[in-house]
Amino acid sequence: MAVTRANAAAFVGCLVAIVAGGALAIAGRPGAASTVWAVATAAVAVRLIVSIVRDLLRRRAGVDIIALLAMAGALALGQYLAGAVIAVMLTGGQALEDYAAGRARRELTALLARAPRSAHRVTDDHVETVAVDQIERGDLLLVRSGEAVPVDGVIVDDAALFDESALTGESRPVSRRVHGRVGSGAVNAGSPIRLRAIATADDSTYAGIVRLVQEAAHAKTPFTRMADRYALAFVPLTLLVAGGAWAASGDPVRALAVLVVATPCPLILAAPIALVSGVSVAARRGVIVKGAGALEQLAAAKTVVFDKTGTLTAGAPRVAEITVVPGADADEVLGLAASLEQASSHVFAGAVVDAARERGIALQFPSDVNERPGTGINGDVGGRRVRLGSGGWVTEHRPLPEPITVAHRRAQLEGASAVVVAVDDRVAGLLLLDDPIRPESGRVVRSLRTAGVQHVAMLTGDDKAVAEVVASALGLDEVRSDLSPSDKVAAMRDGAGSADGVTVMVGDGINDAPALAGADVGVAMGARGATSSSEAADVVITVDRLDRLVEGMAIARWSRHIAVQSVIVGMGLSLVAMGFAAVGVIAPLVGAGLQEAIDVAVILNALRALRAPGAVRVAHLDRQTSAAFRAEHRALLAGVDEVKGTADRLEWLTNDDALSELDAVRTFLIERLLPHERTEEQQLFPLLASAANGRDPTDPLIGAHREIERQVALLDRLVTSLPADGPGAGYRLELRRLLYGLHAILRLHFAQEEELYLELDDGAAVPLTAPGPAADERSTRGDRTAGPHARDRRWRGTVRR
C-alpha cells in the first residue's frame, strides 16, 4: 500500500507542477514556469534513477531507461513542459499499474482477509474467545451465525448450513449432517452450532489455501521475465531510431520525440496485470494457481496426464450391485449388513452404511459383535445372526450358492471387491463394491480435446486389466499401469504421451507428489488430497470437482490471450508513433500525451482478463428442485439394479416367483421410471438447452428416453402375454435378453444424467459446445452408474478383509 501511495503522490505532484507552471506562464512569468516544470521533471528523474539502480543490482534491466533518457533530454534541450508531461506519463502509468494490479489481486486479497483469527472455545459452563492458533485437536468450539469456522471440525449437535464459497467457489449454501466434517473458512449460514476440532489452525483447510495464495501472490511470471528480455532489444532499437532521426534531420528535438513515444508501457504493465487477473479469477472458482508463471504454462498445455484413483475415479468404495439368493430380499440383506457394519472400522463399512441410507433403509444397532481384521465381522442384528466378509470365512470354506458364485467370479474379472453376507448361517447375498468413475470425468476429457489438448493419458498403480477398463470407458489415448511413485516420475520424465509442448499431471494422493513436482504443471485435487501433493503442485483445486481443471485452463488461455493482445497492440502503436516522431510529425509534448493514451488503453484492455472466458456459462437449478431430482435419482438406482437382479435370478426362479418378480420390474419401469424421465424432459432439459449456443445438447438424452420407452413397451407386452402357469425356457431366454439390454441402456443413460445433474448444480460450468452422441456414449460408459470398476490399492481385490 505504501508503494501505491508514493506513486499516487508523485503523480499528483507532477499534475500540480504542470498546472502551477501553466498559471505562471499565463501570468507572464515564463522563467518561473520553466523552473517549476524542470524541478518536477528532475524529481521524478532522480526517483527513476534509484529504481533503475535497484533493478540493476538485482540483475534486471528494463525499459525505464528510455523514460529516463527522455526526461534528461527534455531538460538538456530546454523542453521543460515536455519533460513535465513525460513525468506525469510515467508516474500516472505507475499509479494506474498499482490500481490495476490491486484490482487484479482482489480475489486473492479477499481470501487472505477472510482467514479466521479467533474462536469461541467451550470449557465447562462458559465460552471463552481465544486466538485461533490456541485451538487444539479435541476442543469443543461454538460457531455463531455468520462466523467463519476457525479450524477443521465435525458437527456435534444438529445438522447445519454453511456458505463454503470461499473454499469451493459454490454460491449455494451446503447442508452438513451431524458428525459431518466442515473445513475452516466455511461460514455458518444457520443457527449457532458446536464443533469438535479435528485439526489445529496451521493444519486446517483454510490455512493451506492461504499458504497457496501467498505463494501465488509472490511468484514472478515468465512473461515478465520475457518482457525484460524484450526490453534489452527494444532499448538499442529506440536509441538507433532516435540517433538516426537526429543525424538525418540535424534536430535533436526529433530524437527526444522518439524517446518520448518509445516507452513500451504495454509490455511492462499490461502483461503482468492480465496474468495476475487470471490468477484472481481462478481463485474465485476454487482453483489456486501458484503464480502467473504456472498460469502461462497451464494455458500452453498439450498433454494432460491423470492419476486414476481419486482423480478420474471417486477414490472411495461404493456399493454398485447387490446379488441375493432366490427368496431373499435385496433391501433386507443390505439393511442387515449395514446395521452390522456400523460397528466396523473397515474401509468398506462406510460405503455399505451409506448405500443403505440412500435407499431409506432403517438400521438397527448390532450387539455381540466380533470383528476379525482382514477376514470379516459377525454379530446379532434384531435377533438375527449376521456374518459378512470373504466368501471362504463366511461359509467356512463350503461352496457358495450358484448365483453368488457367478457374481463373485464377475467381481474378480472386473477388479471389483465382493462382500458375502450370511444371515442365520445361510448365505443370503453378495455386495459388489467398486470405485466409480467420477460423473464429470467423461465431460472433462471431451472438453480438454475441444480446448486443444492433443493427448490424454493415465498413470496408475492398479493392474493392467483394471486400468484399461477405466481408460476405455473415458476414451483415453494412453494408459500405464502397475506403476510405483518412482515409476510415475520416470514416466513424466520420459514424456508420458506423444504430443509436444507442456505436460500437465493431475493427481490427489501422497504417492502423486513426486510426479506432480516433476511435471511441467502439477495439478493437485486438494479438497481431500494429501498436503504433500498440494505443496508439490503448481495448481491446487480446492473443491472436489475435476471439471474445475477445464475452467482453470480456460481462464489461463483467456488471460494469456489478453496479455499477448495488449503487448502486440501497444508495442505496435508505439513503433508506429516512433516512425512519425522520427520524421517530425509528432512533437515531444504531443508524443507524451499520445503515449499516455496508449498506456491507458492497453491497461484497460488487460483488465478484461477479470471477466470469465466466454466459453463457459453458469447455469443452475434452485436448491429445492435440485435436491428433489437427486433424491429421486438415487432412489431409482436401486430399482434399475433390480432389473439386472431379476435377469440373473430368472434361470432358477420358480414359475410363480418369476411371474411375481417380472411384474414388480414392469410396475417399477412404467409407474416410476418413465414418469421420472418425462419430468426431466419438461423441467430439467430446457434449462440445459437455454445455456447452450447452437445445437441442443439434450438431443442424445431425449433419444435415449425414446429407446428406453420402446424397450419398456416390449417388456410390458412380453410379460402381459406370458402363460398363466409361468414362463417356459424359451420365454425365460428372451426375457433375460431383454432385461439385460434394458439394464445396460439404463445404466448408460443414468451415467449421462449424472453428468447433467452435475452441470446444473449451482455454480457448475456448462460447456456451450455440446458433445455428440458418440462421444457421450464412449465417455460415460463407465460413470457412476455404468458398471463396476477398479479399486484403490489399499482395498482392491475380490475378497473383503
Residue whose grid cell is 434452485? 622
- The β-bridge relationship of strands 181-182 and 126-131 is unpaired
Among residues 47, 66, 30, 61, the alpha carbon closest in space to that of 591 is found at 66
Q: Where are the alpha helices (DSSP H) in 418-463?
A: 441-450
Element at 664 (helix H, strand E): helix 655-668
Q: How far apart are CA 564 and CA 155, in angstroms?
A: 49
Determine the straight-line distance between the first and last CA of the chain, rounded to whole angstroms: 59
Say whether 307 is catalytic: yes
Q: How far apart are CA 36 and CA 22, in angstroms?
A: 9
Element at 75 (helix H, strand E): helix 64-76
- Sequence-distant (≥ 6) Cβ neighbours of residue 267 within 8 angstroms: 63, 227, 230, 231, 234, 567, 570, 571
Q: How many CA atoms lie within 13 A of 375 on its CB side?
A: 13
In eight-state DSSP terms, residue 721 is T
Please pick, among 98, 139, 163, 307, the residue that the annotation labels catalytic: 307
Show the cell assigned to 268.
Answer: 511492462
Neighbours of 393 (CB within 10 A): 21
Show the cell assigned to 77.
Answer: 534541450
Residue whose grid cell is 532499437? 237
Crossing angle (nearest 10°) for helices 292-299 and 222-249? 90
From edge to edge, which strands make up the β-sheet containing 126-131? 126-131, 118-123, 140-143, 193-197, 153-155, 181-182
- The β-bridge relationship of strands 478-480 and 455-459 is parallel
Show the cell assigned to 284.
Answer: 474465485
Q: Are 291 and 279 in contact (CB under 8 A)?
A: yes
- Coil/strand/helix, residue 158: coil
- Distance of CA 262 to CAs 65, 69, 253, 581, 604, Å? 11, 11, 14, 10, 20
Q: Are 370 and 377 in contact (CB under 8 A)?
A: yes
- Sequence-distant (≥ 6) Cβ neighbours of residue 683 within 8 angstroms: 625
Q: How far apart are CA 58 and CA 55, in angstroms?
A: 5
Residue 611 exposed, middle or buried by CB count within 10 Å (0-12, 13-18, 19+): exposed
Q: What's the gap between Cα 56 and its chain centre? A: 40
- Sequence-distant (≥ 6) Cβ neighbours of residue 272 within 8 angstroms: 101, 221, 223, 224, 227, 292
Show the cell assigned to 431.
Answer: 455386495
Q: How far apart are CA 181 and CA 196, in angstroms?
A: 10
Residue whose grid cell is 499516455? 596
- The β-bridge relationship of strands 160-163 and 153-155 is unpaired
Show the cell assigned to 629.
Answer: 431430482
Measured over the CA atoms of residue 724, residue 728, residue 731 and residue 736, the dihedral's sign is positive
Q: How far apart are CA 297 and CA 330, in angstroms?
A: 51
Q: How far apart are CA 602 and CA 571, in angstroms?
A: 10
Q: Are 352 and 382 in contact (CB under 8 A)?
A: no
Q: Are 533 and 526 in contact (CB under 8 A)?
A: yes
Q: Are 541 and 294 in contact (CB under 8 A)?
A: no
Q: Which residues are catalytic?
A: 307
